[in-house]
Amino acid sequence: MNRSLLSRVRTPADVRALHPGQLDALAQEIRTFLVDRVSRTGGHLGPNLGVVELTIALHRVFESPRDTLVFDTGHQSYVHKLLTGRRDFEELRRRGGLSGYPSRAESEHDVVENSHASTALSWADGIAKANELQGRSDRHVVAVIGDGALTGGMAWEALNNIAEGQDRRLVVVVNDNGRSYAPTIGGLALHLDTLRTTQGYENVLSWGKRTLKRSGPPGRLAYDALHGLKKGIKDVVLPQGLFEDLGLKYVGPVDGHDEQAVERALRRAQAFGGPVIVHVITEKGRGYTPAEQDVADRFHAVGVIHPETGLPVAPSRFGWTSVFADEIVRIGRRRPDVVAITAAMLQPVGLAPFAAEFPHRVFDVGIAEQHAATSAAGMAFGGLHPVVAVYATFLNRAFDQVLMDVALHRAGVTFVLDRAGLTGDDGASHNGMWDMAMLAIVPGLRLAAPRDEQTLRTALREAVDVDDAPTVVRYPKSALVDEIPAIEDLDGVDVLARHDAPDAHARRVLVVGVGAMVGSALQVGEALAAHGLSVTVVDPRWVLPIPAALTKLVGDHDHAVTIEDGLVDGGVGAHVAQRASEHGILTPVQAFGIPRDFLPHASRDQLVGALRLTPQDITRDVLTALAGA
- pLDDT for 250: 85
pLDDT 10s digits, 513-526: 999 999 999 999 99
pLDDT 10s digits, 380-398: 999 999 999 999 988 998 9
- pLDDT for 220: 45
In the CATH hierarchy, which top-level class contains the domain 319-474?
alpha beta
Q: Of the spans 27-41, 94-108, 127-141, 390-404, which averages the highest pLDDT? A: 390-404
Residue 243, pLDDT > 70, answer no
Peptide linkage before 485 cis (omega within 30 of 0): no
Region 1-9 average pLDDT: 77
Residue 410 · residue 380 · CB < 8 Å: no
Q: Of the spans 126-130, 144-148, 353-357, which averages the highest pLDDT? A: 353-357
The residue count for the chain: 629
C-alpha span between 220 and 229 (Å, rounded): 14
DSSP string for residues in 363-426: EE--S-HHHHHHHHHHHHHTT-EEEEEEEHHHHGGGHHHIIIIIITTT---EEEEES-B---TT
C-alpha span between 585 and 556 (Å, rounded): 9
3-state SS assignment for residue 95 = coil
Residue 182, pLDDT > 70, answer no
The answer to whether the pTM exceeds 0.95 is: no
Secondary structure tally for the chain: helices H, strands E: 26, 18
**Banded pLDDT at 125 (limits 50, 70, 90):** confident
- pLDDT for 179: 54
C-alpha span between 99 and 601 (Å, rounded): 7
Residue 241, pLDDT > 70, answer no
Region 453-467 average pLDDT: 97
313 vs 449, higher pLDDT: 449
Residue 487, pLDDT > 90, answer yes
CATH of 5-198+238-293, one of 3.40.50.2300, 3.40.50.20, 3.40.50.970, 3.20.20.70: 3.40.50.970
213 vs 429, higher pLDDT: 429
Residue 193, pLDDT > 80, answer no
**Banded pLDDT at 363 (limits 50, 70, 90):** very high
What are the residue ranges spanned by the domains of the chain? Answer: 5-198+238-293, 199-237, 319-474, 489-628
- pLDDT for 327: 96
Q: Are strands 141-146 and 68-72 parallel, antiparallel or unpaired?
A: parallel
3-state SS assignment for residue 132 = helix
- Any residues with CB less than 8 A from the CB of 536 and at least 6 apart, and which? 495, 497, 498, 499, 508, 509, 510, 511, 525, 553, 557
- Any residues with CB less than 8 A from the CB of 547 and at least 6 apart, and which? 491, 492, 493, 540
pLDDT 10s digits, 289-310: 666 666 555 666 666 665 666 6
Q: Which of 259, 250, 196 is nearest to 54 (CA)?
A: 259
- pLDDT for 312: 65
**Banded pLDDT at 124 (limits 50, 70, 90):** confident
- pLDDT for 516: 92
- pLDDT for 359: 94
Backbone angles phi, psi at 344, to 5 degrees: 65, 25
366 vs 204, higher pLDDT: 366
Residue 231, pLDDT > 50, answer no
Q: What percent of the chain has pLDDT over 90?
A: 44
Residue 236, pLDDT > 50, answer no
Binding residues for Mg(2+): 147, 177
**Banded pLDDT at 157 (limits 50, 70, 90):** confident
321 vs 180, higher pLDDT: 321
Q: Which of 140-144, 166-170, 325-329 has the lowest mean pLDDT?
A: 166-170
Q: Which residues of 313-338 are buried (b: 16+ CB within 10 A; e: fewer)?
A: eeeeebbbbebbbebbbebbeeeebb
- pLDDT for 212: 46
- pLDDT for 239: 44
* Whole-number average pLDDT of the chain: 83
- pLDDT for 341: 94
**Banded pLDDT at 98 (limits 50, 70, 90):** confident
CA torsion sign, 353 to 356 to 357 to 362? positive
Residue 1, pLDDT > 80, answer no
Q: Which of 518, 512, 514 is nearest to 483 (CA)?
A: 518
CATH of 489-628, one of 1.20.120.1200, 3.40.50.150, 3.40.50.2300, 3.40.50.920: 3.40.50.920
- pLDDT for 35: 83
How many C-beta neighbours within 10 Å does residue 305 have? Answer: 21
Binding residues for thiamine diphosphate: 75, 115-117, 148-149, 177, 288, 369
Q: Are 5-198+238-293 and 319-474 in the same CATH fold? A: yes
Region 264-276 average pLDDT: 90
C-alpha span between 549 and 534 (Å, rounded): 19
Strands (E) located in 568-603 = 589-594
pLDDT 10s digits, 323-362: 999 999 999 999 999 999 998 889 889 999 999 999 999 9
- The residues assigned a catalytic role are 284, 369, 397
DSSP string for residues in 467-492: -SS-EEEE--SSPPPPP---SEEETT
Greatest Cα-to-Cα distance within the chain, rounded to the nearest angstrom: 107
Binding residues: 75, 115-117, 147-149, 177, 288, 369
Residue 214, pLDDT > 60, answer no
**Banded pLDDT at 286 (limits 50, 70, 90):** confident
Residue 282 · residue 255 · CB < 8 Å: no
Region 105-125 average pLDDT: 81
Residue 584, pLDDT > 60, answer yes
294 vs 232, higher pLDDT: 294
Region 18-27 average pLDDT: 90
Amino acid identity for residue 627 in this structure = A
pLDDT 10s digits, 547-575: 999 999 999 999 999 999 998 999 999 99
